[in-house]
Structure formats: structure tokens, C-alpha cells
Amino acid sequence: MVYVQSHLSKLDLILEGMEGINLGGLDQISLLNRVDTKAYFSIEKLINLFESIQEDYFVLEVAGTRRSFYKSLYYDTLKHDFYLKHHNQKGNRYKIRYRKYVESNLSFFEVKFKNNKGRTIKKRVKVSEIEKSLGKQALELLDTYPSLSSVDLHPSLWVYFKRITLANKELTERVTIDTELNFVKDQSSASYHNLIIVEIKQNSFDKNSKILKTLKDLGVSPNKISKYCVGQISCDANLKRNRFKAKIKNLNKIQYGIS
């Protein structure tokens, strides 16, 4: 843990030196209909990444904080249909969650739809707080999706992490960088504090993105990863996981420093 905190302390110094942007500025590139590119790697590469990109991106600041705390509660069916659809590589799949942005004290109920063309379309509605049973606003949003039945949905997994949000200086690209991941399901929990997850959000894929080029220089290639799926298989030994075995092996190597 001391090793992780040392890197995060160095990161906080770099973040303080970057040009900031507020939520109003970030709203110019909401990208609720977008293409996502993900990658994950060990925290030891994080400082090198920021040293290369710090002049090219704004960093989001909320309530004086540039690494913000997030809480999410994901919903699924009792049979884990959303998880299994992702595991089985099916298109046109959903993720349903409450999310709280702690520093800004904002909470939303969100429905994310990944279509079979690789685009992510997200709709959300503001709520007063994360709810362990679906509230009025959540039910009204779900009613706009004929294929979803709120009756079948139940709280499934808590996810906690800290996030850095970046916007390129051209305001065409958003980047989220997640650190200090923790998962809780019923009485089980799991942590991946050495793991960094990057998600690059663009209207259409741009290989000339500064952060994509920098990640390539650091030996990091785009690689699909779902925090929800990682949390589920890390906390529930009974779930089907054949397609994720290699990924979990890689994540454990990162977490425990196995070469």
C-alpha cells in the first residue's frame, strides 16, 4: 500500500500543475453517444503517462479535488443476465447502475447500452441518492426501454474508486482514469489498488489521440475491461468465467506484481 500511495502522491503533484476545467466546461463534450477505447496497466506506469500528456489535456476539478471519489451500485437480474451477456460476448447489452459523485454530491441513475456496432449510448436521470430499490425517476427511465423489466432487477454489486477526468485541449475527447478500485458483493469484497483503468471517449475512433500514442509508447495496448465484470467474478466464485480467465490472470499479475 505504501508503494501505491507513493505513486499517487507524485500523481497529485502533477495534477495540481495541470490546467483545470470545471463541470460546465466538461459539459461541452458530454459524449453520451460515443466510441470507447479502454486499456489497463500497473500503477507504476501512471507517472510516465502523465508526464507525457499533461500539457495536452485539461483536468476536471470539483470542490478543489482533481481525483474524485465515485460510488456505484449496479443492478442485474438474479440470474446475472447482464453479466452473462457480457461474458458471452453478446452485442446490444446493458449496464444499469446508480452512481454518486461524492465531492459534488450528485447522484444519477444510468442505463448504458452497448450496441452491436461498438457504440455506447448512455441515458441518465438525476436522483437524490443511490437507492437499494428502484425509485420513481429510475423506473420512469427504465420504462423508455421496452426490453427491460424493472421487476427483474436487483442490487448486484457495489464499486468504489477514485477517478481523474481529462479533456483534450480541442474539447473533442474525454478520458477517465480510475484508481484504487474496490468491489463489494454481499459479504465478499475485492481490491485492485495497483490497477489503473483508462477509458478514452470519442465521437469516432481517432488513432492520433495523444493519450493513445503515449500508451502505445509505454507498451500498453487497448484492451477491453469491465469494472462490473471484474468485480462480479472477484467477489462471486460461482459465476461462469471461462472467457475471463486470462484477463483475471493478467489482473492478478498487476495487483500482486507477478512477472
Task: Please give the Cα distance from 4 to 195 (Å, whole number).
Answer: 10
- The three-state secondary structure class of 143 is coil
| Sheet strands (E) in the chain | 20-21, 33-42, 57-60, 68-76, 93-101, 106-114, 119-127, 154-168, 173-185, 188-192, 195-202
**Domain boundaries of the chain, sorted by first residue:** 2-256
Task: Please give the Cα distance from 227 to 200 (Å, whole number).
Answer: 15
Averaged over 225-250, what is the pLDDT? 95
Averaged over 122-134, what is the pLDDT? 95
- pLDDT category at 226 given cuts 50, 70, 90 is very high
- pLDDT category at 204 given cuts 50, 70, 90 is confident
50 alpha-carbon distance from chain centroid: 18
- pLDDT category at 206 given cuts 50, 70, 90 is confident
- Convert the pLDDT of each residue in 8-56 to its tens digit: 999 999 999 999 999 888 888 876 677 889 999 999 999 999 999 999 9
Q: Identify the pLDDT of residue 116.
A: 87
Q: Identify the pLDDT of residue 1.
A: 64
Q: Identify the pLDDT of residue 168.
A: 95
pTM of the full structure: 0.94
Q: Identify the pLDDT of residue 28.
A: 82
Q: Mean pLDDT in the chain?
A: 93
Say if residue 231 is exposed, middle or buried (CB neighbours under 10 Å; 0-12, 13-18, 19+): buried
CA dihedral sign of residues 4, 7, 13, 15: negative
Question: What are the φ and ψ backbone dihedral angles of 87, each rounded to 5 degrees?
Answer: -55, -40
* CATH of span 2-256: 2.40.320.10
- State the Cα torsion 206-31-114-181 to the nearest 10°: 90
Q: Identify the pLDDT of residue 27.
A: 84
- Convert the pLDDT of each residue in 79-109 to its tens digit: 999 999 999 999 899 999 999 999 999 999 9
With a cut of 90, say whether residue 3 has pLDDT above it. Answer: no
Q: Identify the pLDDT of residue 29.
A: 82
CB-CB contact of 257 with 179 (8 Å): no
Alpha-helix residue ranges (DSSP H) falling in the chain: 2-17, 23-26, 46-53, 81-87, 136-142, 210-217, 227-235, 245-256
- The three-state secondary structure class of 90 is coil
Task: Please give the Cα distance from 98 to 132 (Å, whole number).
Answer: 9
With a cut of 80, say whether residue 259 has pLDDT above it. Answer: no
